[in-house]
Each structure stands twice: as structure tokens, then as C-alpha cells.
Amino acid sequence: MAEERNYTVGFYRLKKAYTHGFSISPEGVLYLERGEGHFLVLGVFNSYRKGYAWGRLHFQAELPKGSICIVRGFAVEGEEAAQEINGYLLDNSGSYGEKKQYFIHLGELESVNHSDILLYKLAGQYLFLSLEILGEGEGCIKDMVLYNPGDNFMQTFPEIYQEPGGFFHRYMSVFSTLYFEMGQAMEGMETYLDVNLAPDFMLPNLARWLGIDIPQGLLEENTFRKFLREAYDLNRRKGTKEAMSRIVELMLGVKPVIVEG
């Protein structure tokens, strides 16, 4: 099986990219700014292998109705040439129109309105990708990942069916996408059960599993997490003075004075 080398396009890679008409959130989401021109050039990807056949690009696109999403790409050999091209494409002094024409001129790939794109026709150690959105309105691009070799599914079939970019390959890539997305969700499943890492919307569910009903929004997030960390022990001591005192302290931030009559 081919070595798997995946590239997640997150905040830091996007900050180093050339962008026009996009804003970047700390979560690594590209938001469309006002206007019609939206263009992204990602910094060079290095496979560290000559003649490397690239895999698959996948992202989530939430775009205005009627907009067009165009992904272009090409691959080259030679570190010196790759660095020169990378320097030009990421130079903020150049116009995005010039960079767009560069991709059109050299591009070996152009994909329109697809968020799951096979890159097998691109062969070379260094890969360059651009993304253009034509249209106006609110929208975003997120969860961008470059998968290599792209389809581990294909490694399970006889060699005769493993032709890169063939009909069977394109057909199976649909199921491969579902498989990867399911795998990513399962890899992060444990965070939903960790009081320190779970998203805030999961906190009421964690509380209910302990027999405690606290509606969403009743407590500040930090207070809710502190309470859940001690909930099991407090539940064992429920009805006692110590438990009541600790609950009040956790909820209000003040240790109560209990006067017994």
C-alpha cells in the first residue's frame, strides 16, 4: 500500500497563502469578502518524490446561489523552479488576475463546481493549487485536505482496476470520500466524551448522563465544565452539607456559610 501523506490546509497554511477577496478565521475557514473577485493560491506542496502522482483534494463549500468554484493546479519537478514559482505566486504585490492567468497557462487541471477532486493527472514532486470563486454574497470554504495517495479503497482491488483517473477510480472516489469523512469524525469522537475538550453543546448531554438536568445557557461554559469535573463525586455525596456547599461554590464562585439550626 502506498505511503499515506495528507496535508490539512488550516489557519497557518492559509496565512502564508496568497488571498484576494477572502478573510481567514482562526479556525482556518475562508470567508468571502464583499465583491466579486475571490482568489486563493496555496503555497507549494512538496511530496519529496520525483514523478509523484498526487491524490485527491477535498473541501467543504458553502457558497452563494449561482456562484462558480474553480480549482486549478499543476505539478513541476526541480526545487529551484518550484521555489521561483512559489515566490511569484505568493507575492502580494502582483495582481490576482496575473496569477490566475499563470494557472490557466500552466494548469494541467481545471475543475469546476466540485469539492472532491482527483489529482492523479498531476505528476511531479511539487504541486501548486489555486481556488477561485466567481459570484457575490456570503459564503465560505472550510475543511480543506489534500489526501495522498487519495484512495486507499483502490489498494484493495485487483491491479487491473487500479488505473488512476479511470471510470472505476472516479466512481469509487465517491465512496472513498464518505469513508474518509466518517473516519475523521470517528477519530475525534473521544473529544465529545472529555469534559475538557467537548464542544459546549455537548455539556448538557454529559450532565444528563450523570442524572443532572442543566439546560444549555444556564451556566457559563467554564463554570459548567468545573461542575462536570466534580459531578460524579458530588452525586455520590448528594444530600450532605459538604455536597451542597461545594455546589453553591461552583455555581456562584463564593463559598457559603451554612448555619445549622
Q: Which CATH architecture has domain 7-187?
A: Sandwich (2.60)
Task: Give per-residue pLDDT as tens, 184-200.
Answer: 667 667 788 888 888 88
Does the pLDDT value for residue 17 go beyond 80? yes
Question: Mean pLDDT score of the chain, rounded to an integer?
Answer: 84
Percent of residues, the chain, with pLDDT higher than 70: 87
Highest mean pLDDT among 11-20, 178-187, 204-213: 11-20
Cα distance between residue 247 and residue 227, in whole Å: 8
Residue 152 has pLDDT above 60, yes or no: no
Query: What's the confidence (pLDDT) of residue 4?
Result: 60
Within the chain, all domains assigned CATH 2.60.120.260 are found at: 7-187
Indicate the pLDDT class of residue 31, thresholds 50, 70 and 90. very high
CA 39 to chain centre: 19
User: How far apart, in whole angstroms, are the C-alpha atoms of residue 190 and residue 187?
Assistant: 7
pLDDT average, residue stretch 142-146: 90
Q: Which residues contact 39 (CB under 8 A, 6 or more apart)?
A: 18, 19, 20, 21, 22, 96, 99, 100, 130, 131, 132, 133
Give the span between the Cα atoms of 196 and 228, in whole angstroms: 9
| 179 vs 114, residue with greater confidence | 114
